[in-house]
Amino acid sequence: MNKDSKIYIAGHLGLVGSALVKCLQKKGYSNLVYRTHSELDLVNTNEVALFFKQEQPEYVFLAAAKVGGIISNNKYRADFIYENLMIQNNIIHQSYLTKIKKMLFLGSTCIYPKNAPQPLKEEYLLTDILEYTNEPYAIAKIAGIKMCESYNIQYGTNFMSVMPTNLYGPNDNFDLEKSHVLPALIRKIHLGKALENNDWETIRKDLTLLPIGGINGDAEDKVIENVLQSYGIIKTNDQVVVEIWGSGNPMREFLWSEDMAEACVFLMENRNFSDCFNKGNEIRNTHLNIGSGLDISIADLANKIKKEVNFNGNFSFNTNIPDGTYKKLTDVSKINALGWNYSVTIERGINEIYKWYKNR
């Protein structure tokens, strides 16, 4: 990519897309193109076709997706598979029709089977059944990988696919119903600390920025206490307890979103589809894992956040909420061999995201 190449970032306002925009701008890329959802509905085939015809981007980062945590994935199954398939189909096909030079499709490590060996190697794709709770989303992402792969084989396009592990960072989703585990824990423990200190100014500011259960910072104290309790932030006498979904035992890998963006831009600058697989009769498993290669239990993660926030209360574990896959650690040897490694530790990342959350 040249510094003046026209680069389209689909999903530029999200966790992934905003990190990509920041990374590209930092590196001096000046011709970036993006649209908000109100300006361009990526589910609408005609709108996407018109956009590509008018803008004629040279490079595409496909970071747009409908995403959510374990509850929303399981609850809105039809929405997750339909919207993600449509977004992918539209952008990948139009990228082919308008002859872009290179595209990077971003998926997720939930594509791997529920009981796949650990760490997760790229070749484990499609070797067993998926985790049930996020199966529709995973199937959509697998379809995206295979679509990129198939267009490359049939049409000679240069479409790469990357599967980031659990990401966190600036512009993350802190909605307690829809967020992933790390931002949800940051917010719940932050609110638990404020409740512990009877710091109603902080609590009201938080709910004003992002209401919980339809309740904002203008509500009465008792109403706010009730909605916090319904989401597992409970004060009894002088003791605050924060509820954590599941047993706390599952192991998860986390990657700072700006590390992920660095990996993606590195690949677009230095690598091609042909670098992503072993040459042979069958071209398979051409995607690349992006991660740290290190994992941590949910309970240990919560305790690291507790230390960062300086929360003195306790945790309770709601085992009525499913844990999901017990362990999900990526094998990152493939992308490491291509020249990229992560840099931000989980401790540094928690410190950075908590500062960002408080100052947003």
Q: Which residues are catalytic?
A: 137
Q: What angle do CA 125, 127, 131 make, to 5 degrees?
A: 80
Helix (H) or strand (E) holding 78: helix 77-97
Q: How far apart are CA 63 and CA 88, in angstroms?
A: 10
Q: How far apart are CA 340 and CA 276, in angstroms?
A: 13
Longest dimension (CA), the chain: 68
Are 88 and 144 contacting, i.e. CB atoms less than 8 angstroms apart?
yes
Are 185 and 306 contacting, i.e. CB atoms less than 8 angstroms apart?
no
In angstroms, what CA-CA distances link 22 with 40, 157, 171? 21, 27, 12
Query: Each residue of 208-229: b (16+ CB within 10 Å) or e?
Result: eeeebeebbbebeeeebbebbe
The dihedrals phi and psi of 318, each to the nearest 5 degrees, come to -90, 95
SS3 of residue 201 by DSSP: helix
